[in-house]
Chains A and B, each alone.
Chain A
């Protein structure tokens, strides 16, 4: 069964798509910062281990940190120049993280390219996966999950469909949209490479119908390519959520507590596919990405920036804040974390920065639940957020678990729609983290 939509969901900023309007017609501009500060936790999993020290001269694309553990990825210098600092710094997360600061000499001295493994159509499947790891590619849609791990599956499992996520259902962000317009051929080539690596016949590029230009561009790029189709999706949040996307595109559901591969699907972001193409054919690691800087900045735009670019510098480049900025969000308004300062780095998964003024950044006062059941009707998973919140407020981990808090995808729909402004999503995220932590600690005993 093929659907265009899924159960539940909301339409934030629906009428005009006003958030995206600011930057959707702005092609990505290259930005060269004076320095980059690259955090070692660019991807999910253990932070990488720096292999350069202060005073070293590094070339662009040179490995500066080695992978640690199963989920580890190497990190490459995104500019050439001198390493001025290897130290722990505050980034977006709660804890300080080891960062490598490189002063940009603007010479673009390039590291020797990686070994030639052929094109996306001819490369050896095993080598493609190895290359994806060596190029430091992780999901660029937000979760930063290392792609090679997704592609390394147990023998009895198989994938028959690769879905490229071009839904970009978050508010404001247009970086994926611009990537689809500007690098459509690369995206298709990257998808072919992933399909080749997984020995998989179907590739689907899924795009929301508020981006007709992107659908057009991708259709054109996919024309004549075997097994690749472009699917138009209804515009609705959270259309780009992995589970919802799989159901809409394939009619399958990811079994509870399992991964997409358990229903034979692999989902990754369109920008990731473009990075795969660069890694395989052009032998280039992932050191730059397109990011949207928008909201209350003087000149909202899309920028192609080296990983590790400081957000403050980016905003200066966009003309500075437009008026009094009150909130800075790393990502879209529905899921992006709010940053306490603008002194942090662009990571591989950061699709945009949204600046809000005081009027938009209101603190919502939580009222009592009126049982209006709006949260129940918008939950794309079929949970009862109102009930889960009672258990979360009562600090009852068992009760929350019984009410399926672990199935929550933290999409924010319930909080968005709640007339009493209850902090539903935040409670669930907190509770999920605590349950995960407790089970981890329990396992060690």
Chain B
């Protein structure tokens, strides 16, 4: 009789890369549903185009490069979903496809595929689109929600008349929380984001540290910087609930590949994102700073991982005193 031989341990957790990615997809569903409710079925189309093109690009690239095909792990679908949810509902389909190409081909696969990208693919794609077609990605592109998308007409693309909530302050906290504000498909409804956050916490896909630190830091520093600058300042809660900060903190900043591996590194990373977001929001005259704040800290991550190391058991400098008596 002979048996299978393998190295210990002979038991593994049931969690797998694809189960984690599936859980992220499930956590994003409330945001998608909220998007559909607020902006109509067009938002489903935008997200679907992003998801499908991300998966297709990944498949084509891997086939072309003769690498193992990894679309089954759902990570490309997650990237597509994240990208779609950070697009305005008015985004044309070709922008979605270009964004997906940037995310998958340039940011993810060109650097080695899953786990090896140093920037968040969806967020980088969003930044590229934002820089390339600012009119279509911000300001006037954001429509005011109207239940199930029954808004009268699409606003003119180049008009910057419709400000995002951050620029003004004319929306109530309740509107911000429910999502009755202009914005991208996924970011407006804070209830949906919190539902997704809760799901990710329950399934232990992420821990609460990074998102909570980001949101609180942004709120507090946004308010403080506002005071320093003088004039009207938005209160911390307003900062926390407006723009993409909550969505970015929960779904973007917690991306495994691009955030530090150690606890202390993650704290610094999250604090940096919060601080930078506040700086960009208040001083840069550019309302939405979350994207760039997260991308900047993504670049800092390798440094954080290099210099912050957990203390190793029995390391001499912090060696406990020997010889103390035990009760």
Contacts and interface: CB of A to CB of B under 8 A. Distances in A.
Nearest to B306: A387
Interface in B101-116: 113-116
A151 interface: no
A267 to B, nearest CB: 13
Interface in B71-86: 73, 75
A340 interface: yes
Nearest to A404: B312
A341 B70 CA distance: 36
A179 interface: no
A369 B115 contact: yes
Interface string B1-39: 111111111111101110110000000000000000000
Interface in B273-327: 305, 309-316, 319-327
Given A251-B320, A384-B310, A418 B115 contact: no
Contact of A363 (B1, B4, B13, B324): B4
Contacts of B9: 12, 333-335, 412, 415-416, 425
B113 A416 contact: no
Interface stretch (B145-153, B238-246, B254-262): B254-262
Given A256-B316, A327-B4, A340-B5, A368 B12 contact: no
Question: Which of B7, B11, B310 has the most chain A CB atoms inside 10 A of its CB?
Answer: B11
A262 B321 CA distance: 11
A397 interface: no
Interface string A242-273: 01000101111111111000111000000000
Interface string B241-273: 000000000000000110011110000000000
Interface string B153-168: 0000000000000000
A441 interface: no
A361 B4 contact: yes
Nearest to A383: B312
Contact of B3 (A202, A247, A256, A327): A327
Contact of B16 (A12, A202, A253, A421): A421
A107 B13 CA distance: 49
Given A160-B323, A380-B313, A418-B12, A370 B261 contact: no
A202 B5 contact: no
A252 B15 CA distance: 34
A338 B8 contact: yes
A204 interface: yes
A429 B324 CA distance: 34
A51 interface: no
A10 B204 CA distance: 14
Contacts of A263: 320, 322
Nearest to B13: A417
Nearest to A384: B261
Contacts of B2: 340-341
Contact of B12 (A354, A372, A373, A415): A415
A160 B311 CA distance: 26
A376 interface: yes
A282 B70 CA distance: 64
Contacts of A412: 8-9
B256 A254 contact: no
The bracket for how many chain B residues form the interface is 35 or more
Contacts of A335: 8-9
A331 B8 CA distance: 10
A381 B8 contact: no
B113 A334 contact: no
A354 B8 CA distance: 13
A368 B319 contact: no
Contacts of A404: 312
Interface in A4-38: 10, 12-13
B115 A264 contact: no
Contacts of B263: 377
Nearest to A409: B313
A14 to B, nearest CB: 10
Contact of B319 (A253, A312, A338): A253
Given A255-B319, A371-B261, A419-B17, A243 B11 contact: no
B6 A371 contact: no
Contacts of A421: 12, 16
A171 interface: yes
A253 B320 contact: yes
Contacts of B73: 367
A212 to B, nearest CB: 22
Interface string B55-71: 00000000000000010
Q: Which of B73, B257, B319 has the most CB of A within 10 A?
A: B319
Interface string A352-366: 001010001101100
A370 B319 contact: no
A423 interface: yes
A377 B265 CA distance: 13
Interface of A: 1-2, 10, 12-13, 160-161, 171, 202, 204, 229, 243, 247, 249-258, 262-264, 312, 325-329, 331, 333-342, 354, 356, 360-361, 363-364, 367-373, 376-377, 379-384, 386-387, 404, 407, 412, 415-421, 423, 425-426, 429
Interface of B: 1-13, 15-17, 19-20, 70, 73, 75, 113-116, 256-257, 260-263, 305, 309-316, 319-327
Given A338-B7, A418-B13, 7 more contacts: A1-B320, A256-B313, A329-B8, A342-B3, A363-B4, A372-B256, A407-B312
27 contacts: A12-B11, A160-B326, A243-B314, A252-B321, A253-B313, A253-B320, A255-B319, A312-B1, A333-B8, A334-B11, A335-B8, A336-B10, A338-B8, A340-B3, A342-B3, A356-B10, A360-B11, A361-B4, A367-B16, A369-B115, A381-B313, A384-B310, A418-B12, A420-B16, A420-B115, A421-B16, A425-B7
